[in-house]
Structure 1
Amino acid sequence: MADPQIAQKSPFVEETEPGTYWWCACGKSGDQPFCDGAHKGTAFVPLEHAVTEKATLAWCGCKHTKTPPFCDGSHRAL
């Protein structure tokens, strides 16, 4: 599988309401950090994540995290 496109070399830190979110794994979405369908035709698929209570979350922006969909600092090595 090809490497994902790096959307940004830092997390997307957002106050997130409860709900179901689809994290972009390919890095091509125009609605980062969430999927807008730009992965179609690639081997990438978005990752579904349910948020049960309002929280400030650090969604991975580099798409190289070992703990998807959240930032683990992997962007520091890119």
Structure 2
Amino acid sequence: MSKGIKAGDQPISIDVEKGKNYLWCSCGQSKSQPFCDMSHRGTEFKPVKFVAEENKTIYFCHCKQTNNQPFCDGSHNK
């Protein structure tokens, strides 16, 4: 699968809530980063669903180059 356009240079930390669904933007076009706003329509991209297993801080990828979607893997440093 292709990687989306770079939306930022640093991960975005989000305090997630146990049991809540989150849709991570994989295309990089969303105005609601790091989450999907359906800007991918008409492209090959689809949002990546994440379900929080506990209340905690998650670092979502903002550069869209991660190999561990939807999480930051440091690809923005490469």
TM more than 0.5? yes
Unaligned runs of 5+ in 1: none
Tell me if the contact between 2:61 and 2:72 (Cα under 8 Å) persists in the aligned partners. Answer: yes
Unaligned runs of 5+ in 2: none
Distance 1:3 1:57, change over 3 A: closer
CA distance in structure 2 between the aligned counterparts of 1:16 and 1:48, rounded to whole angstroms = 13
TM-score normalized with structure 2 length: 0.91
Q: Which amino acid aligns with 1:7?
A: A
CA distance in structure 2 between the aligned counterparts of 1:44 and 1:23, rounded to whole angstroms = 11
**Which consecutive aligned stretches of 4+ in structure 1 deviate over 4 angstroms post-superposition?**
none
Match of 1:12 in 2: 12
- Percent identical pairs in the alignment equals 43
The count of corresponding residues between Structure 1 and Structure 2 is 77
Supply the RMSD in Å over aligned alpha carbons: 1.2
Q: Which amino acid aligns with 1:9?
A: D
Q: Which amino acid aligns with 2:56?
A: A
Q: Tell me, yes or no, if structure 1 residue 69 matches structure 2 residue 73.
A: no
TM-score normalized with structure 1 length: 0.91
Listed as ranges, the matches of 1:1-78 within 5 Å are: 3-18=3-18, 19-77=20-78
Structure 1 position 2, deviation (Å): 5.4
Task: Note the alpha carbon deviations across 1:4-36, whole angstroms, 9 max, x for none.
Answer: 111101100111112011100000011110101
Q: Which amino acid aligns with 1:13?
A: S
